[in-house]
Amino acid sequence: MLRPILLLLFLLLMTAMDSSGQDRSYGRSVVMTDRGIVATSHYLASQAGSQILAKGGTAIDAAIAANAVLGVTEPMNNGIGGDLFLIYWEAKTGKLYGLNSSGWAPRGLSVEFLAKQGITSMPEDGIHSATVPGAVEGWSQSHQRFGRLPWKDLFAPAIYYAEHGYAVPEIIHDYWVEEEAKLQKTSESRRVFLQAGKAPAVGARFSNPDLANTLRLLADQGRDAFYKGEIAKAIVSTSSSFGGTIQLDDLADFSAEWVEPISIDYRGWKIYELPPNGQGMAALEMLNIMSTFQPDAGGPQGTVELHKKIEAMKLAYSDLYRYNADPRFAKVPVHGLLSKTYAAQRAALINPNKADCNPGPGSPATSDTVYLAAVDKEGNIASLIQSNYSDFGSGVVVNGMGFALQNRGALFVLDLGHPNVLQPRKRPFHTIIPAFMEQADVHIGFGIMGGPNQPLAHAQFVSNFVDYGMNIQAALEAPRFTVADNKVSCDIPIESRVKPDVLQALRDKGHNLIVRGAYTTAMGRGQAVMHNSKTGMNSGASDPRADGVAEPEPPDTHSK
């Protein structure tokens, strides 16, 4: 009798082991290859980037090509009228580079200028919300430093889709419909983006021949076409027609800035973000606060763990909204905010049994968007994020050029005593942040877009991966919470995949939960790539909250 029983137990054990990879809590498998990978929020952009890799391009070549396609296929979320930030890991040197290509306010745009027009708070859209676009300058500087293929070659896929059109996918369609009212405000935005008087239907072919011509100018003439040439003149003319202040020298004088990434240690992993004017320091402060507690045995979606993370988010965001600004104009206490001592002080304010709806900022010591990630077969990683801010940005479409100007200026304040007050040639508080993390031979470029959602989403991704052993795909897919209405409060949107008893327990602690769909875009749309320096293997992940994929570089099957 003993032998049959032992055999049965062995078979049951083997069955459990065999099904462990199939009976899982996330939907997509990690993409793995010894060649490159490009992960974006749109499958055509991922494909374009992977094709650039197959032609011998580097991770930055692929990222630029993919980003250009995203500007065509997700015109509400990004494009050449927006800004760009980049973290680039160079495999052969092991060095990390940061690029801030966020544009400044025009010289003529000031608190006094707006006051004379009766404007007492920053406009959310319209020409006075527009700042100088930085995306093209960011492409140019990063390509000069890390690119391998000719600049012109990178724009061929985007030009093709702008000229010949593409089928509009589900999530992009929904974004488009939500912005019909904004697009109806001007004749040029109606002509370009509401070609039948309304947003294109799911599956409809949409083309943008004006943008195709603009991209050809960029491909042929380089970044100067945008900042000094024909495109620059069209931007200034359009601005003037709406009473705006953008002048040719605002564009010609602009340059991106290479910056040193900021970092913390989180349980043996080095986590990197970019310094202000971006909000990456909030992700690092939140992780620092979380590191004062051990991961809870109840799991990442248990009551104890979620309560701790929600409260840590409020503390970090209170500091973010108080101190973040352009460091060329204001002293931002980054060192103090990221110190372990300060994190312990902030963590001590967390009541394990009760939510704090408005913890307020501390006193540290002084001293819609698209995200994409690309890794090439050499292991170089581009962690790149680019955005218009709101959907279709300012709503002002540049005459004859096929793209909208961003509305990043909306994030300035008009309070003269605040570090983020509007000033000429100043960069506003910025929401978009790329990220990077590493430990020993493992290097990960990641990001999760979505306005103020980004720092807390980064922290949740890191915790899922480091604290709970998830792979990069599972860490992206796991249920998330976010911040409501750009402010610190007890209003917490959260995905419906969190168990009902946990939701109730959080409500009992004072959290006002706003339960959203299982995979709502309100939680942002993330991508991640990972390189193992020891094995040479690359991995990629793409968030199911978007229309994208992690696309591996195809092999060259034609070579002899």
Domain ranges, ordered by start, for the chain = 36-258+370-411
Q: Which pLDDT band holds residue 13 (cuts at 50, 70, 90)?
A: very low
Residue 451 has pLDDT above 90, yes or no: no
Q: Which residues of 43-56 are buried (b: 16+ CB within 10 A; e: fewer)?
A: bbbbbbbbbbbbee
Would you say residue 521 has pLDDT above 70? Answer: yes
Q: What's residue 109's pLDDT?
A: 97
Is the predicted pLDDT of residue 257 greater than 80, yes or no?
yes
Note the pLDDT tens digit of each residue in 143-162.
999 999 999 999 999 999 99
Q: Is pLDDT above 50 for 7? A: no
Please state, in angstroms and as integers, the Cα–Cα distance from residue 244 to each residue in 107, 126, 388, 401, 404, following that order.
11, 9, 18, 18, 14
In the chain, how many H helices and how many E strands? 20, 18
More confident residue, 154 or 4: 154
To the nearest whole number, what is the mean pLDDT of the chain? 93
Helices (H), 194-324: 209-221, 224-227, 230-241, 248-252, 280-290, 303-323
Average pLDDT over residues 81-89: 97
pLDDT at 15: 41
Give the closest residue to 135 by CA, choosing from 279, 31, 261, 235. 235
> How confident is the model over 330-364, as pLDDT tens digits?
889 999 999 999 999 999 999 999 999 999 988 88
Note the pTM of the prediction, 2 decimals. 0.93
For residues 21 and 317, give the distance between their C-alpha atoms in angstroms, rounded to a whole number.
37
Assign 20 a pLDDT band (cuts: 50, 70, 90). Answer: low
- Burial class of residue 497 in the structure, from the number of CB atoms within 10 Å of its CB (0-12 exposed, 13-18 middle, 19+ buried): middle
Q: Which residue has the higher pLDDT, 555 or 533?
A: 533
What tens digit of pLDDT does each residue of 210-230 get?
999 999 999 999 999 999 999
C-beta of residue 355 within 8 angstroms of C-beta of residue 92: no
Q: Which residues are catalytic?
A: 369
Tell me what pLDDT residue 560 has.
47
What pLDDT is attached to residue 368?
A: 62
* pLDDT at residue 92 greater than cutoff 80: yes
Q: Where are the beta strands (DSSP E) in 323-419?
A: 369-375, 381-387
